[in-house]
Every structure is written in C-alpha cells, then in structure tokens.
Amino acid sequence: MVEQRTAFTHRLDNGMVLIGEPTDGVQSAALSLMVPSGTSKEPSNRLGISSLVCDMVLRGAGSRDSRALINDLEILGVERGESVGASQTSFSAATLAENLNDALSIYADLLRRPHLPEDQLEAGKLVCLQEIRGAEDEPSQQLMIDLRRRAYPEPWGRPSHGDEAGIAGSTSAEVRDYWSQTYQPQGAILGVAGNFSWEPLVKHVESLFGDWQPVEAPAMVPSTIECGPVQVAQESNQCHIGIAFPSVPYRDPDYLRAWAMVGVLSGGMSSRLFTEVREKRGLCYTVSASLQTQRDRAWVLCYAGTTAERAQETLDVTFAELLRLREGVTAEELERLKARIKSGLIMQQESTSARSSAIARDWYHLERVRSFEEVGRLIDELTSADINEFLEAHPPADFVFATLGPTPLELPETE
C-alpha cells in the first residue's frame, strides 16, 4: 500500500522554489537542485560550456578548496550526482537526515560562491573532452546523439557534453560569465525528501539562498547545426538503428497515456519490441524505446543494435511494431504494465533520492507536486480504451531515422 504524504512549497522572493516532502519512516534525506543552466542556452560556438561549468563549480567553493569540498561531502556520507540537460543543470545529494543542513550549506556555496580556479581550467576541459571522446568511441551513443539532433529543433537536441571546439575554446572569463548568467535563483528549484521538519528547513534555505540576486537570463541565439547524412558508414560487424517519432510532453494531460503506450512497446521481457524483435526472431542483441520529454516537446526514441547481416530485417520488424501500435493495445498488456509501474512506485517511495528528484521534476513541468496517492489512482483508472483513444488521435507518424553501420539500409516509406 502506498503511504500518503504531503508536499509543501515555498517560493523565495528571488524566484527560487523550495519543495519538501517530509516522512518519518526513513533515516535519510535527499535533495535535488536544478539551476537554469542547460545546453539550449549555450552560445553556438561554445557548445559544452554548461558541462564545463558543472565540473568547475566542484573545484572549490566558499571557504573550501577542491580537496576540502569533496572531503567534507564524503565526511557527511553524501552520495551525489550531477547532470546537464537542455534547460537545467541538476545536482543531487543523499545523506543521513541529521546531515541535511550541512549538505545544503555546501551546495549553497557550490552554486553561489564557486572558485572556478583558472589554474584548474585545463583539467576541467580534459574531463569534458574525455566524455566527448568516450561518446565518439561508443557507436550506440553516437547514433542516439544524431537521432536526437534530427528529432528536436535546434537548440533542443544538443548533446550535454557539447563538442571539442566549444570546450577547447572556452576561456576562464567565459566560464565565469556563463556561470554568473545561468546559476541564478530565477528558475531554480530545490526538492527535498526524507526525514526533516518543514518549517526549520524553510528557515535554513532562506538563510542560505534568500539574498541570492536574480540576473537577466541570456537570450537563446538561433543557429543551425548540420547533422550530416541520415545513414553514416562505419566499418564494423555491427549496425545501430534509431527511429524516433513525436509525442506529448510531461505537462500534457495525455502524457500518462503516451507513457503507458511506450511501456507496452518497451518495458520488460513481455514488451512488444523484446518479444517480436529479439525473442521470437533473435534479430538483435538489444532493442528499446523511451519517451523523452522536455517542457514543451517530447519524442519517442527507439534503438536497436544488431549485426550487419540482420540489420535490414531488424529495421523492418522494429518499424512494423511501431506501426502496429496504431491498432491499439490489449487489456492484458496494460495489466502487465501496471504491475511493473506499481512495483516502481513502491521502490520510489522507499528512496528519498528518487522522490526528491520526482518532486523537483513535477514542479518544473507542472508547477505542482503529484502525490503517490494521485499517481497510483491515475494508474488504476487507466484503461486500454484510454490508450487506444490516445493512439487514434496521436498515431506514431512523422518518423525520423538514423543508422550507423557498414552499409546503407533501405529506409521505410512513411506517410
């Protein structure tokens, strides 16, 4: 049974939003902190500067140098993570509940008072360049980067790591300027979940962030990025196939239907893609689909990795399964999906890290937080007729393709 919890919100005068969901049943607390620094805001000649800044802010902040910063987080037992997306840079941290305030104080320094040491800029660049070269050495990543660029309009399809020219050309002054423009309270969201008291948390967050001054956000400069050929030749025994089609974003009332449709397509060993493409025919070693959403746009991205000899059949069968979605899903398929969803909800309820991320994401997309109870009720009420009604109004169409392999494939004709 899903425990009912209450989420609280507090908006600081500078525009930053705090969301908290206390629970007494755990010993941990976690935070998810989003700042409006993402790839869509990068100058077209400095792609990747968001990732470079994300690395640099961890190289000392406030009274701590780089070593002391990491050491103090480890002393607090903080399990942390950082990621750069199209619209935000996100920082996550989980620790014992008694260490939450100290962890928040460190993250306030990290966001507001980073050293951005010039003598460590080259080391920061090397970290980012290694990520770029790592993606270049992984064909499946290369393919999906290309597919996203073809699906999303510029600048929304940019890869988080940018490109070598953007990283190599970034100066210390540009890093500091970009940080000062994008690490700001207007648009920042802090989600906290776990064992804490709400009113003391509000007071502490106000003391840490209340005098943080907003600045005018940089305007996005339209640009055009050449994606190259749809089919890229690469000497290999393998072929990588990507197919994408548009869907509805998280804030759309039909999002749950779209998400369930993708779950039937690719969500476990009984899903259609796994069953039809891999299990029955043994065409590929991996096949999947996911609904990737931004605030105002979303696409379903499908991937299959196979041998060069079986690539054409893999493409044909995978595409046929996407078209077959138009015929609808069955009640039995939905019931299997619901069982997986409810299992995931229960596990999320037990994870303060997952919950802090979820409430911050809800606020970003919806400007409100959905409780476990509400999500559970929406899932219980979902029927196969609902999904089929959605598919009738939004059938998979307007497909985008990308392939990477030794020989070109015959791409399906689309309407």
- Residue-wise pLDDT for 262-313, tens only, equals 999 997 788 999 999 999 999 999 999 999 999 999 999 999 999 999 999 9
Q: What is the mean pLDDT of residues 195-199?
A: 97
Q: What pLDDT is recorded for position 4?
A: 63
C-alpha separations of 343 from 326, 339, 349 in Å: 28, 6, 10
Q: How many CB atoms lie within 10 A of CB 380?
A: 10
What's the whole-number average pLDDT of the chain?
A: 93
The pLDDT tens digits for 366-395 are 999 998 888 889 988 999 999 999 999 999
Residue whose structure tokens are 């009738």: 392
Q: How many CB atoms lie within 10 A of CB 224?
A: 7
Q: What pLDDT is recorded for position 138?
A: 94
Q: How many CB atoms lie within 10 A of CB 165?
A: 12
Q: What pLDDT is recorded for position 193?
A: 97
Q: What pLDDT is recorded for position 13?
A: 98
How far apart, in whole angstroms, are the C-alpha atoms of residue 240 and residue 173?
40
Instruction: Say which range, 18-27, 38-47, 223-232, 292-301, has the weakest mean pLDDT.
Output: 223-232
pLDDT: which is higher, 345 or 133:
133
How far apart, in whole angstroms, are the C-alpha atoms of residue 213 and residue 186?
9
124 contacts: CB under 8 Å, gap ≥ 6: 52, 55, 56, 59
Phi, psi of 232 (to 5 degrees): -100, 130
Q: What is the mean pLDDT of residues 152-177?
A: 96
Q: What is the mean pLDDT of residues 1-22?
A: 88
Q: What pLDDT is recorded for position 281?
A: 92
pLDDT at 35 over 90: yes
Q: What pLDDT is recorded for position 225?
A: 67
The pLDDT tens digits for 130-139 are 999 999 999 9
Q: What pLDDT is recorded for position 79?
A: 97
Strand partners, 240: 305, 404
Phi-psi sector, 366: left (phi>0), alpha (psi -120 to 50), beta: alpha
pLDDT at 199 over 70: yes
pLDDT at 120 over 50: yes
pLDDT at 96 over 50: yes
pTM of the model: 0.93
17 contacts: CB under 8 Å, gap ≥ 6: 9, 10, 11, 188, 189, 190, 363
How far apart, in whole angstroms, are the C-alpha atoms of residue 46 and residue 119?
20
* Full set of structural domains in the chain with CATH: 8-209 (3.30.830.10), 231-405 (3.30.830.10)
Q: What is the mean pLDDT of residues 230-238?
A: 90
CB 383 within 8 A of CB 264: no
Q: Give the model's confidence band at 1: pLDDT under 50 very low, under 70 low, under 90 confident, else very high.
A: very low
Q: pLDDT above 90 covers what percent of the chain?
A: 84
